[in-house]
Structure 1
Amino acid sequence: MMTFKFARPLAWLLLAFIIFVTVSPIGERPNTVTMVDVDRAVAYLLLGFAFALAYPKQWKMVAMLLIVGAFAIEYLQYFSPTRHPRLHDAGIKAMGAALGLLAGWVINRWRETKAPNGLPFAER
């Protein structure tokens, strides 16, 4: 199976960074570039996109894990005294992950149609 070589390490590094930013004390959180909800959505969009490119055959399982994971990572804020988990924040993150996964799925399907041989993309 052919994947973008950088997608797997990038996906896991993004996940580690997102977990750190989500559960670290509020003082260690990076400053937002735009509105907080936009930053959350874009971070998870990039995460979903990277995981979709990294694991094209497992996109359904990745989708489930990232969407459920958005809520689980938000829940981890209960263990940090300076953080406050919110269902709204988890929903924004899950939506961003879903949009990133959708974009990655579309790219994978497009790459599959442009394949030089007759094998489907996921079987190469």
Structure 2
Amino acid sequence: MNRTGVKTAVTLAAWACIVTIVVLSLAPADEMVRTGADGHLEHTAAYAGTGFFVGIAYRVEERWAVLGGLMSALAGTMEILQHFSPGRHPGFSDFGASSIGAVIGLAVAGLAVRNMLLARRSVR
């Protein structure tokens, strides 16, 4: 697969993760999908994975603060909108776990991008 194909695949993965977070965050309580892990760990893992793909797709090394802010805004918006979902309630600690996960994912993406760039330069 060429670079354009990889970029497209990663961008689609990022948006698929975002859509999944939105759907699962707004599902009524009786339809919630749980892994059996601690809820905060679920939030952290979901946003870390999403943050990783978003960071790779949208060049985290150039837009660290913007991407982190947008991911935190998504987390906050999802928590607030849970007021309108039957049986759900927002939680500040859930927002915190989600935001921390997003930062972890973006940081890992930043390291991955940096290492790929360094490897590419050393090959030349």
Q: Which TM-score band applies after superposition, normalised by the shorter structure?
A: 0.7 to 0.9
Structure 1 segments of 4 or more deviating over 4 A?
A: none
SS for the counterpart of 1:68 is helix
1:35 matched to 2:44? The reply is no
The aligned counterpart of 2:97 is: 92
Q: Residue 39 of structure 1: CA displacement?
A: 1.1
- Once the two structures are superposed, the pairs formed by residues 19-98 of structure 1 within 5 Å of their partners are 19-56=22-59, 57-98=62-103
The count of aligned residue pairs is: 117
Structure 1 residue runs without a partner (length 5+):
118-124
Which secondary structure does the structure 1 equivalent of 2:25 belong to?
helix
2:29·2:86 contact (CA, 8 Å) conserved in 1? no
In structure 2, C-alpha distance between the alignment counterparts of 1:70 and 1:36, rounded to whole Å: 14
Q: What is aligned with 1:122? A: none
Unaligned runs of 5+ in 2: none
TM-score by length of 1: 0.85
More helix by share: 2
Give me the TM-score of the superposition, normalised by structure 2. 0.85
Give per-residue Cα distances to partners, 1:81-101, cap 9 Å, x unaligned.
Answer: 311001011000000001000
- The alpha-carbon deviation at position 58 of structure 1 amounts to 3.2
